[in-house]
Copies of this chain bind each other. A is one copy, B any other.
Amino acid sequence: MNYKIRSIREKMKLLNIQGLIISNPENIRYIIGIPVEGTILLTDKENVFITDARYIEEVNNFLTINDEFIIYDNKDVSEEDNQTFFSDCENVGFEENYVTYANYENIIRKYRIRNIEETDRIIEKERMIKDEKEILYIEKACEITDKCFEHLLNYIKIGMTERQVAFEIEKFFLDNGADGVAFESIVASGENSSKPHAIPSDKIIRFGDPITIDFGAKYKGYCADMTRTIFAGEVSDELQNLYNYILKNQLRTTKDIKEGVSCKMIARSVENDFYLYNYTLIHALGHGVGLNVHELPILSHNSQSILKENMVVTNEPGIYLTGKYGIRIEDTIRVGKLESEVLTKSSKQILVVDAK
């Protein structure tokens, strides 16, 4: 059986559920391996994928006998079929963090479920550890992101707007084999950089501005996530000092990230250092990256996760001085047994782009 399904079925035993309904598209893509619409039903008897005419052929070609999936066209699934799938299941799990309340009610009616059970992100937890192919796709997404950054260093000029730079990122990704952006790029210059989630505006990049660029390509569904803060024309001593202080924390964290370390301790270590210097870390230090740009685990003081080999996480300390400016430095990192590998390889030296 597909190793992903086998592992999910083991977790189902622990939750004492005999059936599971999977409807979150990213979870389906994770299990099936290609982007197709439908619903996966794991019953006590079989693995079922209900899709429609648009995808049947593709799914049949892609899945092998090893996957042990029975594939249905939804137009061939009768009301009675639906009521039979889970007829021998005492408890059936569902994705309570994805399914709307209205669909929750539909599901119970449609499949005549006796006991429906919350599953606490059962699939999302499986997705934390990436396999070889997933890592390959993330590496490729990071590679395109790095290339784009190199391009931006020549492209960005004083007098351009933030929005222009954001457009250029999207164009570059599309022209260089990516699916597109993994998330809406942040390009925040000068005062705007003091907002961690600034939206690219028509503000013009001025001499002396720090420019925070938070961006990432998506490749075959998998995301990269990188932030660099660069400087327009010149960089003041004040900005250099703050930059180097954040970089020191970012580099130390990268060394800390490896199998067996708790996400909470990693985040606390940066928080404590910031505290000593009178700064505050106002967002999580990092998060998992995969089919979603934000996924499990979270690297923050209230995380319960322990890092494991082949998790892929970000490391993104940032300091934001309201009304002045902000600096953030972020990499996407594959967790290793003894040391981890930084997948976004762009320079983290202080970089100054052309004055005109």
Q: What residues make up the interface of A, taking CB atoms closer than 8 Å to B? A: 54, 94, 96-102, 104-105, 118, 167, 170-171, 174-175, 180, 195, 197
Contacts and interface: CB of A to CB of B under 8 A. Distances in A.
Contact of A100 (B99, B171, B174): B99
Given A170-B170, A171-B174, A118 B100 contact: no
Given A54-B197, A167-B174, A174-B171, A100 B97 contact: yes
Nearest to A167: B174
A104 B54 CA distance: 33
Contacts of A96: 100-102, 105
Nearest to A195: B54
Closest 7 CB pairs of A and B: A96-B101, A96-B102, A101-B104, A167-B174, A97-B102, A99-B101, A101-B101
Which of A102, A104, A171 has most chain B Cβ within 10 Å?
A: A102
A195 B56 CA distance: 13
A41 B197 CA distance: 24
A282 to B, nearest CB: 9
9 contacts: A96-B100, A96-B101, A97-B101, A99-B100, A100-B101, A101-B104, A101-B118, A171-B171, A171-B174
A101 B167 CA distance: 37
Contacts of A102: 96-97, 118
Contacts of A94: 101
Contacts of A118: 101-102
Contacts of A98: 100
Given A100-B101, A101-B118, A170-B170, 8 more contacts: A96-B105, A97-B100, A100-B100, A101-B104, A104-B104, A167-B174, A171-B171, A171-B174
